[in-house]
C-alpha cells in the first residue's frame, strides 16, 4: 500500500512542476494565440533569465538583484528581438517561423557558451527560503518549493486580472479572436504585439530564474521544457491562458506522480528488469497519451481562446 504522506509530498511536487510549466507556457500561448507566431526560441528566454540571474547574483551576493537583472535582460532582449527579427515573420507561414526561430535557438545557445562558458552555473537558494516547512503529522516540505507554488498561483492571478479586467487585456482577447478587427478599430497592433512578446519573455525568464536553484543553469535548459510547453498548449487550447494553467497542472501532476508511483505499481505485475528498462519511457508516454486523447475528443483543446 502506498504511503499517504509520500502521495501528498509527490502531489506537491507535481503542483510545483505544473506552476513552473505554466510560467513558461503562458507567454508562449499568448504569442501563438494572438500573434499566430510559432516561436521555438521561447525557451531561450528561460535560459537567458537564469544565466543573467546566476551571474549577477554571484557577483552581487543577492538573489533578488540577480532575479531583477535576469527579468530586465530578458525583457530588453525580447523587445529588441521582436523589433528586429520577429516582426518580419508575422506575415510568413509557420514553416518559415519555425526555421527562423530554430536558428535563433542556435544563436542564443552559442552566445551563452561564449559569454558564460560550457560549465553550468548555480544559484543558491535565498537564506529566507532555505530549509523545510513543517506541514502536518511530521511531514515537512522544502520552503523554496512552497514558494514556487505560491509564485505560480500569484502570477496566474495577475495574468487573469490583466487579461480579464484591463484595457490591454481586452485588446489581447480581441486580438486572439479577430486580429483584423482590432486593426480596423485603429489600435496600434505593432505595440500590442511588442508588449505581448516582451511579456512572454519575462514570464519565461521568471520560470528559468525560479528553477535555477533547483536545476543547473546551462545552455540547453530550456529545450526540454519547450517540448512539454507545446504539449500543454495543445491540451489547454491555443491562445487560452486559463487552458495553459489547467493543462500545466495536469501535465505536472501526471509526469511527477507517474515517475514516482508507476514503477512501484508495475513492480507487482512485471519483472524488475522490465520495470527498469521500460518504466521511464512508459511514464513519459503518459503525458503524450493525454494529448492524443484531447486531440481526438476536443481538437481545439480543453479551452478555446474565446473562453480563456
Question: What is the three-state SS of 138-158?
Answer: CCEEEHHHHHHHHHHHHHHHH
pTM exceeds 0.75: yes
- d(CA 64, CA 73) in angstroms, rounded, equals 14
pLDDT of residue 272: 66
Q: What fold is seen in the domain 14-123+139-297?
A: ABC transporter involved in vitamin B12 uptake, BtuC (1.10.3470)
Q: Backbone phi, then psi, for 221, in 5-degree steps?
A: -65, -25
CA angle 105, 109, 112 (to 5 degrees): 140
Segment 61-66 shows an average pLDDT of 92
Phi-psi category of 6—alpha, beta or left, where left has phi over 0 and alpha has psi -120 to 50? alpha
The per-residue pLDDT of the chain, averaged, comes to 86
What is the helix (H) or strand (E) element at residue 133, kind and residue range? Answer: strand 132-134
For the chain, percent of residues with pLDDT exceeding 70:
91
What is the C-alpha end-to-end distance of the chain, expressed in Å? 40
Q: How many Å is the Cα radius of gyration of the chain? A: 20
- Weakest mean pLDDT among 18-27, 58-67, 263-272: 263-272
Alpha-carbon dihedral sign for residues 19, 23, 24, 29: positive
For the chain, percent of residues with pLDDT exceeding 90:
44
176 is written with which cell numbers?
486572439
Amino acid at each position: 500500500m502506498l504511503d499517504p504522506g509520500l502521495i501528498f509530498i509527490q502531489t506537491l511536487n507535481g503542483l510545483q512542476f505544473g506552476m513552473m510549466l505554466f510560467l513558461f507556457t503562458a507567454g508562449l500561448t499568448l504569442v501563438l494565440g494572438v500573434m499566430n507566431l510559432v516561436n521555438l526560441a521561447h525557451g531561450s528566454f528561460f535560459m537567458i533569465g537564469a544565466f543573467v540571474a546566476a551571474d549577477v547574483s554571484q557577483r552581487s551576493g543577492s538573489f533578488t538583484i540577480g532575479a531583477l537583472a535576469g527579468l530586465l535582460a530578458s525583457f530588453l532582449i525580447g523587445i529588441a528581438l521582436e523589433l528586429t527579427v520577429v516582426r518580419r515573420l508575422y506575415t510568413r507561414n509557420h514553416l518559415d517561423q519555425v526555421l527562423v526561430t530554430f536558428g535563433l535557438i542556435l544563436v542564443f545557445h552559442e552566445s551563452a557558451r561564449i559569454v558564460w562558458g560550457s560549465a553550468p552555473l548555480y544559484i543558491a537558494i535565498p537564506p529566507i527560503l532555505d530549509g523545510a516547512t513543517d506541514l502536518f503529522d511530521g511531514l515537512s516540505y522544502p520552503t523554496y518549493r512552497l514558494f514556487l507554488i505560491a509564485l505560480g498561483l500569484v502570477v496566474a492571478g495577475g495574468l487573469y486580472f490583466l487579461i480579464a479586467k484591463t484595457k490591454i487585456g481586452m485588446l489581447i482577447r480581441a486580438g486572439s479572436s479577430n486580429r483584423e478587427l482590432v486593426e480596423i478599430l485603429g489600435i496600434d497592433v505593432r505595440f500590442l504585439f511588442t508588449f505581448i512578446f516582451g511579456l512572454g519573455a519575462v514570464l519565461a525568464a521568471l520560470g528559468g530564474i525560479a528553477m535555477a536553484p533547483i536545476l543547473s543553469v546551462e545552455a540547453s535548459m530550456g529545450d526540454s521544457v519547450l517540448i512539454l510547453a507545446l504539449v500543454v498548449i495543445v491540451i489547454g487550447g491555443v491562445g487560452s491562458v486559463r487552458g495553459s494553467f489547467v493543462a500545466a497542472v495536469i501535465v505536472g501532476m501526471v509526469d511527477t506522480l507517474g515517475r514516482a508511483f508507476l514503477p512501484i505499481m508495475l513492480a507487482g505485475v512485471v519483472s524488475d528488469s522490465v520495470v527498469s528498462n521500460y518504466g521511464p519511457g512508459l511514464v513519459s508516454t503518459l503525458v503524450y497519451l493525454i494529448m492524443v486523447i484531447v486531440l481526438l475528443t476536443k481538437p481545439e483543446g480543453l479551452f478555446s481562446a474565446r473562453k480563456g
